[in-house]
A and B are shown apart, each in its own frame.
Chain A
Amino acid sequence: MKSFDYLRPDTLDEALAALSDPDAAALGGGTNLLDLMKLGVAGPSKIVDLTRLPGLDRIETLPDGTVRIGALVRNAALPRDPGFAAAFPMVAEALLSGASGQLRNAATVGGNLMQATRCAYFQDPFAACNRRAPGTGCDAKDGANRNHAILGWSPACIATHPSDFCVPLAALGAIVEIAGPDGLRELPLAEFHLLPGEEAHLTTQLAPGEIVLALRLPPGAADFAGHARYLKLRERNSYAFAIVSAAAALRLEDGVIREARLALGGVAARPWRATAAETLLAGARPAPETFAAAAEAALAEAAPSGANGFKIALAGRILARALAAAAAGTPARMPALPGSVLDDSDTEAAHA
């Protein structure tokens, strides 16, 4: 690992000043950054520890009903907060389906959004990778690519964003608050991560020197609490990244879907909000054929980027299944195996 200086600012202004150095990196829990530094993929000369900044470790409800989550809230803290887990059950389920108890205790909200792809060639400093080293090519294109993207990829890069947390956030219309040298700005989370195009190394909308300050779930996002699930297919049933995953939330009235919120994970370089499928569901009655049609609409533009055509069928099935599970009602208690399709231990609905 390259050696570096360590700074621990006490104020946001000090942190932003330190991060104006292009060789500086922000530090949250370190569970991704430290790993990449050990691999030689990241090599900042200065680390700016954000974890002692005041006020960013809170979950607050604003007067208009918006829920604001500071960037330094730990991944474990959200599902542990009873009010948060009840209002946003699929966000809690997605978090609990990811990583491990130890990692969730360390990982921060900001770090989770900003985590790098798990593409094996990105993690290998000796491989060709446009994302890590622009212009070098993409070893994944003719390499081990069964876990790579089926939507929004380009010949420059076929990587996926690995976060579970971001998938229900994209579905629920979460907003990212950003702080930088020019002040504050905000963006929808569903647009925060960039699709590769020709510039695979630009992975998010954050400009150099900016940081993620907080996330906001808009008023109304909690209206889906009664019918919301996150389902995730992986190589083993726990402590593994998604091959594909789906967040599905419905607002039902008199047996009719008034509004649907859908997103797919593991399919693209960003959490993939499926708006066409959402539109198709509005006004329909929950039924297997309707869910299959929604899944087809969500994947209409999908194309294999390598030996991963199977992910298109799998993503459609997991979306249809998440919709059926959401229609059946959010379980009264977090399933023993969060996000798992093998869990049938608890079928009692929470808000029925």
Chain B
Amino acid sequence: MTFSITLTVNGTPHHLALDDMRVTLLDLLRDRLGLTGTKKGCDRGQCGACTVLVNGQRLNACLALAVQQDGAEIVTIEGLAPADGLHPVQAAFLEHDAFQCGYCTPGQIMSAAGLIAEGEDGADIERIREGMSGNICRCGAYRGISLAVAEAARKAKTEAGA
């Protein structure tokens, strides 16, 4: 069967006639839209490498059918930064050297952006670690990741308060 869907990805609308219902959002982004920033780690919801924002919420793109996202607004790592620089989470990752090989990084950054938007990061590092536990880092860069997310969360709050 074919099913026509509309998706907005990083601000660009896409009208797609899906010819196979099995395509996951992850495979759609990577293989059909050429957005390979979103990574495939486990393909089973166990690592977080495929995290994207769907209608502002972080999700595992590997466990989401593309067809089910009809009408959604999707943001991937390619679309997170404003035109003139870096997203605060990206800047904080650079600042805190929050990666080694970088494979988990797009998922970590998208997950952190989602966590901060959810407002459940709290003020303490323990809540951030818990909130980020759906993102595994094989290189063990967790210390830098937690510090980076904490700093970005702090900045987001200061800006919201200002």
Contact = CB atoms under 8 A, between A and B. Distances in A.
A38 B44 contact: yes
A176 to B, nearest CB: 24
Interface string A1-16: 1011110100000000
Given A6-B3, A35-B63, A102 B111 contact: yes
Interface residues of A, number: 32
B126 A6 contact: no
B131 A337 contact: no
B157 interface: no
B86 to A, nearest CB: 23
Given A30-B68, A35-B63, A238-B130, A101 B58 contact: yes
A338 interface: yes
Contacts of B24: 34
Given A3-B20, A31-B45, A238-B130, A102 B51 contact: yes
Given A3-B22, A101-B131, A336 B64 contact: no
Given A100-B48, A101-B118, A102-B111, A31 B63 contact: yes
A99 B134 contact: yes
Contact of B43 (A38, A80, A103, A238): A38
Q: Which of A27, A102, A105 has the most CB of B within 10 A?
A: A102
B160 to A, nearest CB: 18
Interface in A86-144: 99-103, 105-106
Given A6-B65, A34-B65, A102-B134, 6 more contacts: A101-B114, A102-B48, A102-B59, A103-B60, A105-B58, A336-B126
The 9 closest A-B pairs by CB, nearest first: A100-B134, A238-B133, A336-B126, A239-B133, A6-B21, A105-B57, A336-B127, A102-B60, A31-B63
Interface of B: 1, 3, 20-22, 24, 43-45, 48, 51, 57-60, 63-65, 67-68, 70, 111, 114-115, 118, 120, 122, 124, 126-127, 129-135
